Structure 1
Amino acid sequence: MVLQELKKTSKSRKCYFRSKGKALGSGAYGRARMAYKRHSKDKSPYVVKEFFKPSHVSKRVLHHRIRHEYTITRRARHPNVVSVVDLCTKQGDLGYVMEYCDQGDLGDLINKRVLPSQEQLCLFKQLLRGVANLHSQGTAHLDIKPENLLITSDSVLKIADFGACHVFRDPNMGPKHFVKCTGGDLFGTLAYLPPEVFYHGIEYDPRKVDVWCCANVALSMLGMPFPWESATENDTVYKLFVESWRTFMRVDPTRAIDGNNYPDCGGLTDLTRYPCIQMMVLLLKMLNPNPRNRITIHQALNDPFVKDVECCSLTYYPTGPHPRPIIQHDHRIVSGSEDSTRHVDAPLSAVNR
C-alpha cells in the first residue's frame, strides 16, 4: 500500500504556496518556512518544509525519501499527527506543505518552563494517542523527541518529522507480516534512543523504540535532567540504571512492577519529582532496558493512570480531503510568560509571546 501511495505522489506539481519570511526552524537536513496560498482568498498560514541535499545522496534518492515521508504523514490522519497539505516542486527541488502550529515545538515550551502539571499530563496522553495510531497503521516514528512535537494555539500536540520512520507492517500484507529493524543503524538523538538500537546486527521491534522515547519526553516535561548521554553500558549513569534493574529482577525474574515493588533507580525513582507514584511506575515500565519486557504503547495508553488523565477531546469532521479536528479543550498552554503561575488558566490569545 505504501508503494502504491508513493507512485501516486511521483508526479508532483508546481508549488502553489508562496514561502515568506525567515525560516521557522532548521536542522541538518532541511528547514521550515512560513507559507501562504498563491492567488487565493485563503490567507491561512502554512509551513513549507524544504530539504537540503547531502553531497553523498543523489537527487533521485532524496526525492524518494521526501515522498516516503510525505506519504506516511498523509495517511496517518490523526488529530495528534501533523497534517500535510501538498507535495510540490520549486525550482526543481521537492518539498511539502503542512499545517502551521503557531506555538512552535514542545522543546521550546519545556525550556520556557511554562507548562503547568495539568498541561504536561494532557500533552503526554496526546502523544501516546498519536503514537498508538501510528502503530495501528504499521508505522514506527523512531525519532520521538520534544523538537519533533509541534503545538497549536489550542494546546493540541502534533507529531511531526517522519524522516526516520519505519513501516513494520503494510496494511494490505496481513497481520503476520512484520519487518523488524536491525541494530547499529543509528538515527535520531542518541540520548533518547533505547539500548537495543546500539547492538549491531541484532533485530528489534521498532515499536518499543517509540515507547522508550515517549517516556523520555515525559521526563523532559517534568523538568528532570536527562539521566544519561546514551543507553549503553559505556555510559556510567546508564550502567547504574541497568544494574538497578538486574538487582530488582534477581529476587524474582517474573516480578511485576507496581507501586510497592520497583527498582531503585536513584533520581528516576525520586517520588518528589512526579505528580504521583502511578506515573513513575508507568514510566519505569516504558523504560525497561529489556525491550521484550517493555510495555507496548497501547498498554501505556490503557494504564489506569493515563485513563484518568483529563485530556482534550478531538475528533475529525468525516468529510473532505483534509478533515479538520473538532476541538474540545478546557485548558491552554501558557506561552512566553516568566511567571508560569500567573496565567495558568489564560488562553494563548491573552498572553503575549
Structure 2
Amino acid sequence: MEEDSQTSSHDHVRAWREGSALPQGAPPSRPPSRAPSVRSGREPSVPRQEKHKPESVFTLAGLIGSGPKLSRRPSQSSRKSDSERGAPSAYGPPGPVGLSTDSVASLTKKYGYCEKVAIGKGATSVVRLAHKWERGSEEKLYAVKEFRKRRKNETEKEYVKKLTAEFCISSTLHHINVVETVDLVQDEQHHWCEVMEYCAGGDLYAAIKKGGMSREEVECCFGQILRGVNYLHSQGVAHRDIKPENLYFNAKGHVKIGDYGASTVYRLPWEATIHMSTGLCGSEPYIAPEQFLNKPYDARLVDIWACAIVFYCLHFQELPWRVAQLTDPLYAAYSAACLSSSSNNPSSLPPTVSLLSPRACRPLLRKMLEPDPKQRALIEDCLRDQWFVNVEVCTEPLREGSKGHRHVLPGLAP
C-alpha cells in the first residue's frame, strides 16, 4: 500500500516539478551540489535555472535528477554576528583572555605530528589530521582546524575575539551527537588551531552523494541529528549552519554536529528569556525564509528548518529548492501550497512533503518546514512526534526484535 501511494505521489510531484503547479512561465530546476555558507552583506543570488526534459518513463532516478543540485556550499553571514555585537555569553569572555602565547604549549608537543595535506577546507580555515603516539597505548587521531591569518584591517584583539568566539561555545558542549572540541593552541608557526575529535567516517554530504542509504540509515541519521540539536538547544545554543557538510560520522556510525562558527547563545543558563538573533548566516538552500527579512528571528527555529531540509536531502539526494525566497519558483510553489493546506491534514500536504516516505513522517516534516516561524515546530515538538519516537537510532540500545542496521561510511573502507 505504501509503495502504491508513493508512486502516485511521484507522479504528482513530477507534474509539479515540470511546471504545471508553478507560477506561469516559471522554469523547473536542475539536478542536486555542496552549499557555500553566506558571509557577505548581499542577499545570495539565485543561479539561472535550466529546463528539465521530461522522461518517457517516470522513475525515482528521474525525480532525483530534477531538483536543485546538491553540492558543497560555503557558509555565509552578513552584518555583525551576535557575538561580534557583544551579546552576553555564558561560555567565558569573548576576548583573548587566557590565551597568552607564553603559556600555550605547541601543537606538536601536545597532539603529535600534523599532516601537511588537508582533510577539509572552509572559507576561514583548513583542517588537518594529527597523529599522537603514547607509550603503552594505541595511536590517537585528532582533527586540527587551522584558522586563517589575521587580516590587515583587523586588530589583534578583534582577530583573537573572532577565533575564540567559536571555541568558547563548542568547548563546553559534550554529547554523543556533537563533535568534541579538545583544545585551542598555537602551532610552531604561531597559527591558532582548534583541536577536535577526529570523525573517521567522513561527512554526511559524502554519504548522500555516495548513495545506497537504506530507509533505516536515513531515519537513524535524522534521529541522531535531532537528538544533537535537542542537546544544543537545552544548553541555550543554536547552530545556525546545519547542513550535510557540517554533520560527521565517527567510526561507529554515530552522527556528530560540528563547525560552530555561526552558532549563537540565545539563552543564558539562568535565564528564561529567549534572545532573538540577527544576521544572515548558514548556507543558501538550508536558510529559513525569515532570515532573509532583515528582522530579528528565533535561532532555534532556523535549526529546525535546516534539519528538515537535510532529511529531504537524505531521502532524495537533492534539494527541494535553491533558496527559500519567493524569487525561487520551487519555493514559491511550496509556500503557496502551504497557505492552502493544513499541517495537521496529511491529505492536503504540499508535494515537497507528500512525496516523503514513510507516510507517517510527513506531518512532522510539514511542521518543521512551516514557512511561518510562529507556527513551526520546536525541537520538543519534534521529539514527541508519534513517528519520531519509534525511529531507531544506533546510539541507543536496539529494541526487542530489531535486526539493527549498518551505516555506509564514506570515510572508511568497507
Decide whether aligned partners of structure 1 residues 59 and 103 sit closer, same or farther in structure 2, where only a CA change above 3 A counts: farther
Q: Which amino acid aligns with 1:186?
A: L
Deviations 1:222-276 (A, max 9, x none): 025212211111112111111111222xxxxxx551434x33x23x1343xx331
Evaluate the alpha carbon distance shift between residue 5 and residue 188 of structure 1 in structure 2; reply closer, same or farther with a 3 A threshold.
closer
* 1:210 aligned partner: 303
SS of the equivalent of 1:86 reads: strand
**Distance in 2 separating the partners of 1:208 and 1:95:** 31
Deviations 1:71-92 (A, max 9, x none): 2112110100001111101122
Q: Quick check: 1:276 aligned with 2:358?
A: yes
TM-score normalised by structure 1 residue count: 0.81
Q: Are residues 7 and 51 of structure 1, via their aligned partners in 2, closer, same or farther at CA, if it must alter by over 3 Å?
A: closer
Per the alignment, residue 2 of structure 1 pairs with 91
CA RMSD of aligned residues (A): 2.3
SS across alignment from 2:171 = helix
* Residue 165 (structure 1) aligned to one of 257, 263, 266: 263
Q: Is the contact made by 1:74 and 1:84 (CA closer than 8 Å) also made in structure 2?
A: yes
Aligned partners of 2:212 and 2:164: how far apart in 1?
36
Instruction: Name 2:146's counterpart in structure 1.
Output: 50
Letter of the aligned partner of 2:387 in structure 1? F
Paired AA for residue 233 in structure 1: L
CA shift for structure 1 position 6: 6.9
Question: Displacement, 1:9?
Answer: 4.7
1:5 CA displacement: 8.6
Corresponding residue number in structure 1 for 2:370: 288
For residues 267-291 of structure 1, the C-alpha deviation after alignment (integer angstroms, 9 at most, x for no partner) is x1343xx331121221111000000
Letter in 2 for 1:50: E
Give the 3 Å change call, closer, same or farther, for CA 30–305 of structure 1 in structure 2: same
1:310 maps to which residue? 392
* Match 2:232 to one of 114, 134, 151: 134
Shift of the alpha carbon at 1:335? 3.9
1:259 — aligned with what?
346
Shift of 1:4: 5.0
Bigger-Rg structure (1/2): 2
Q: 1:85 aligns with which of 177, 182, 189?
A: 182
Cα 1:133–1:229 shift into 2, 3 Å? same
Q: Aligned partners of 1:205 and 1:292: how far apart in 2? A: 9
For residues 244 and 3 of structure 1, do their structure 2 counterparts lie closer, same or farther at Cα, with a shift above 3 Å needed? Answer: same
1:289-343 CA distance string (max 9 Å, x none) = 000000001211221111001112359xxxxxxxxxxxxx94321245xxxxxxx
Q: For 1:340-351, what aligned pairs fall within 5 Å after superposition? A: none
Query: Which blocks of at least 5 consecutive residues in structure 2 are unaligned?
Result: 1-89, 398-402
Residues 105, 146 of structure 1: 8 Å contact kept? yes
Match of 2:407 in 1: 333
SS at match of 1:2: coil
The alpha-carbon deviation at position 57 of structure 1 amounts to 4.1
Q: Which amino acid in structure 2 is aligned with residue 235 of structure 1? A: D
Sequence identity percentage: 33
Supply the distance in 2 between the matched residues of 1:13 and 1:61 (Cα, whole angstroms): 23
Query: 1:14 aligned to 2:121?
Result: no
2:121–2:127 Cα contact (<8 Å) kept: yes
Partner residue in 2 for 1:153:
251
Whether 1:219 and 2:312 are equivalent positions in the alignment is: yes
Please tell me whether the aligned partners of residues 286 and 323 of structure 2 are also in contact (alpha carbons under 8 angstroms). yes
The one-letter code of the counterpart of 1:159 is I
Higher fraction of strand: 1
Which residue, 130, 137, 148 being the options, matches 1:35? 130
What amino acid is aligned across from residue 49 of structure 1 in structure 2? K
Distance, in Å, in 2 between the alignment partners of 1:114 and 1:69 is: 34
Q: Which runs of 5+ in 1 are unaligned?
A: 249-254, 316-328, 337-347
Deviation string, structure 1 residues 120-152 (Cα, Å, up to 9, x no partner): 101100000000100010000000000000001
Q: Which one-letter code corresponds to 1:212 in the other structure?
A: W
Q: TM-score, normalising length from structure 2?
A: 0.70
Find the aligned partners of 2:157 and 2:330 in 1 and give their Cα distance: 43
Q: Which has the higher contact order (CA 8 A, sep 6+)?
A: 2
- Between stretches 5-14 and 90-99, larger displacement belongs to 5-14
